[in-house]
Amino acid sequence: MKILIADDDPQILRALRITLTAKGYDIITAANGSQAIAAAIDHHPDIFMLDLGMPELDGVQVIEGIRGWSGAPILVVSGRTGAADKVEALDAGADDYVTKPFSIEELLARIRALTRRLPQHDSDPIVKFGNVTVDLSTHTVMKTLGEQSESVRLTPTEWQVLELLIRNPGKLVTRQTMLTEIWGSEHISDTGYLRLYIAQLRKKLEPEPGIPRYLITEAGMGYRLQPDAISEDEPSR
């Protein structure tokens, strides 16, 4: 089982690597937030163990980046003891929080608890369709035009709509599911919201927005993302 440990304190990294390796874990280390994101993408660890006060990207930013594409458990190990820090980390997507200094017995027990609910697999953080590349870890979208690439700016709501479709490639995502996930159950009948944002995404991402190849409407039901579009006699609009 692979554990990624990210901490800017080399002594803690060394101690945890030695201790957890002796317990049979495969350990990957990172000294800052940027290294943690890169190592996560390269190695797909089973568990993340993150400090909050890291340079380049702090722990909360790393959690948010990881949660864009991975459901693996995240254990925060931090010297920050305030309730606000714990709430922020947990709300960002962390599964558990241990304050420094800690006992190794407690840490091992929390790791064992997290391993009991490991997901089956993670999605790829990089998703491509047509000339569009979406990075779920950094929340960025790039569009290739000839030999040039340009960034596509999405609003937060446009990103939520796109991410929900990306997480279900080739599958129908019902209007009710999308409205509930993004706007809440009180907006379950507000289908005009969806039509507006789907139209905006098509303008930004489709080669021909009026004849969509990737962001497909399933009439009367919802939408789906067709990653490798197959030409259809009558494309859905």
pLDDT digits (tens, 9 = 90+) for 71-127: 889 999 999 999 999 999 999 999 999 999 889 999 999 999 888 766 555 556 788
3-state secondary structure of 78: strand
**Mean pLDDT score, 5-33:** 94
Cα gap 103→100, rounded to integer Å:
9
φ, ψ of residue 133 in degrees (nearest 5)? -120, 125
CATH class, range 2-115: alpha beta
Phi then psi for residue 89, to 5 deg, are: -65, -45
Query: pLDDT-based confidence at 70, cuts 50/70/90?
Result: confident
Distance CA(48)–CA(60), nearest Å, equals 13
In angstroms, the first-to-last Cα distance of the chain is 45
Would the pLDDT of 43 be above 80? Answer: yes
The total of other beta-carbon atoms located within 10 Å of residue 189's CB is 9
Distance CA 194, CA 223 (A): 9
What are the domain boundaries of the chain? 2-115, 126-225
- pLDDT, averaged across the chain: 87
Distances (CA, A) of 231 to 34, 45, 207, 236: 40, 37, 13, 11
DSSP state at residue 185: G
pLDDT at residue 229, as a whole number? 46
Is 126-225 CATH 3.30.1950.10? no
| Whole-prediction pTM | 0.56
pLDDT, one tens digit per residue, over 171-213 is: 898 888 888 888 877 777 888 888 999 999 999 999 999 999 9
Q: Is the pLDDT of residue 235 over 70?
A: no
**Cα–Cα–Cα angle for 95, 162, 93, nearest 5°?**
10
What is the band of 234 on the pLDDT scale with cuts at 50, 70, 90?
Answer: very low
> 191 vs 18, 172, 210, CA distance in Å?
55, 16, 19
**Length of the chain as a residue count:** 237
